[in-house]
Amino acid sequence: MVDKITVDWERAREFVTGDDLEALRSRLEEAGKKLVEKTGPGKEFLGWLDLPVKGIGALGAIEEEAARIRAEAEALVVIGIGGSYLGARAVIEALSDPGRPPIIYYAGHNLSAEHLGKVREQIKSKRVFLNVISKSGTTTEPGIAFRILREEMEKTYGKDLASRRIIATTDASKGALRSLAEKEGYRTFVIPDDVGGRFSVLTPVGLLPIAAAGIDIRKLLEGAAALTPLSDVSNLIDEPSGLYAALRYVLYLKGKGMEIMAVWNDRLKYVAEWWKQLFGESEGKEGRGIFPASVTFPTDLHSLGQWIQEGPRDFFETFLLIRENAFRMEIPRADDDLDGLSYLAGKDIGEVCMKACEGTAMAHQSGHVPCLSINMPELSAFYLGQLLYLFERAVALGGYLLGINPFDQPGVEAYKKNMFRLLGKPGS
């Protein structure tokens, strides 16, 4: 039997009781039914629910294109913003071998001339592919990056050869990028109409760059599919995504309006970045929602640790842990023991890290911080796929508990309207 990711709330019992969770059972069941039966707000954007099972049958073309990229390219530039790149980057940063080509670069997620100029310089001496990801093709940040890098590609390779090295992941039939791709002959992959950007990591949006980085995307989907099916919604409170959603909601009702995701492995930094977009954009509406923040421990224990230990008590903490680490490094002995660390000689650094984690949880609990933990058996494509899908289900359930539509993002348009007007965009 394959282990599954678990959610532990032992260190939050000062704030959450079994009765609190039991009282939510029927509401969680109702939320689950809305997902399964597709009757809740945003029901037209629930295609992500079926991806772990249905997506496996459509991987051949993605794997074939990824193999072509690995064979013909030393670098792949992924151009996108938000959900168009964060999911892929989360998986690639967590699982890829940094020294194995193609090197993955990211562009279009900021408006930094310095960053884009650096990417342009870094790829000049390399064989390059571009993967531009946009539903419409008119989003400002990736649009600017693509215009500049496309010009560079056409100068380097000539227009015809450049077109063979540009891949567009976009709408199936409409939009500026779809029109351009058909005009120039780019290879294309489709963003499903019923999957929003922040839920798109298990579509070609995420799977093509992930596969190009040499990661097993079938294992990613298999891990997601191994999460308990939503068919029996009466037991959601006993299932990891339902339990996580319920714990967050109880803590929110008790005045904990911020969640700090603490990762204990640097490879998971971008998983936390992806998680912040998923939960922030899904929940922050109508004056409701939990503010998502993240830290990397033990590094941030020496900066934000003080605030977490003794600052305002209006947040809770979730530790993202890996039970078994593949890399081991033993601490050596030193005859002089000037650093006073001989008591650690012979121990693995991973063991020291786990004790630091345990000690931190104890300290924060004593400081009256509710501490949850999400425990992954190991860092692998299988369990990372399971984790991403767990978070997607949890935020959907949590959104329905909050009484909002977790699948739209009306507030994102506010800054764009002002920016377009200030820049003099026609019609703004």
Q: Which sequence spans correspond to the domains of the chain?
A: 6-41+223-411, 50-219
Query: Hey, which residues does 132 pair with through a beta bridge?
Result: 79, 168
Is 97 within 8 Å of 327 (Cβ atoms)? no
- State residue 156's pLDDT score: 92
Q: What is the pTM of this model?
A: 0.95
Q: How far is CA 36 from CA 29, 30, 196, 247, 249, in A?
A: 10, 10, 17, 21, 20
- Structural tokens at position 260: 């700090």
Sign of dihedral through CA atoms 386, 387, 390, 391?
Answer: negative
Tokens of 367: 């400081």
The model's confidence at residue 13, banded by pLDDT at 50, 70 and 90, is very high
**Looking at 79-83, 100-104, 234-238, 345-349, which range is the least confident one?**
345-349
User: Would you say the CATH fold of 50-219 matches that of 6-41+223-411?
Assistant: yes
For residue 311, CA distances in Å to 213, 260, 319, 362 come to: 41, 13, 18, 16
What pLDDT score was predicted for residue 359? 94
- Contact (CB, 8 A) for 364 and 317: yes
User: Residues 299-348: pLDDT tens digits?
Assistant: 999 999 999 999 999 999 999 999 877 678 887 888 887 777 788 777 88
Catalytic residue IDs = 281, 302, 416
CATH superfamily of 50-219: Glucose-6-phosphate isomerase like protein; domain 1 (3.40.50.10490)
Q: Using an 8 Å Cβ cutoff, are 137 and 143 in contact?
A: yes
Q: Return the CATH class of domain 6-41+223-411.
A: alpha beta
pLDDT of residue 349 exceeding 70: yes
For 260, phi and psi rounded to 5 degrees?
-105, 115
Answer yes or no: are the C-beta atoms of 342 and 333 closer than 8 Å: yes
